[in-house]
Amino acid sequence: MDTFDPAAQVSDAMREEAKLNPNGWVYVITGSYGPNDGVPPEAIMGAWKVDGAGTIIDGSFLKNPKYKG
C-alpha cells in the first residue's frame, strides 16, 4: 500500500489552493474540517510555502512538530 508523503508529493488540489494564496502557505490537514472551522495544531501535518505567483516552492515543506497522526 502506498502512503501519501506530503513532503514529497504535491496534489493537484494543493496546487489549486496555492494559486489562491500567493506569498502564503498551503497546509496539509488531517480530519474533516470545514472552511470556517478551527483546526487544532495536532491535525496539521505541515505546510508548503507559496511564492508570489501562487506556486508551491519545491522543497519548502515544513513538518509540524505538534502533529499527532
- pTM metric for this prediction: 0.82
CA–CA separation, 30 and 64 (whole Å): 12
State residue 3's pLDDT score.
64
Identify any residues that bridge with 56 across adjacent strands, giving them in sequence order.
Answer: 50
CA–CA separation, 47 and 25 (whole Å): 6
- Print pLDDT tens along the chain (69 aa): 456 677 678 989 999 999 999 999 999 999 999 889 999 999 999 999 999 999 999 999 999 999 987
State residue 69's pLDDT score.
75
Note whether 25 and 13 are within 8 A (CB). no
Domain boundaries, the chain: 12-63
State residue 25's pLDDT score.
97
State residue 34's pLDDT score.
87
Question: CA 38 → CA 11, 28, 29, 44, 56, distances in Å?
Answer: 23, 14, 11, 11, 24
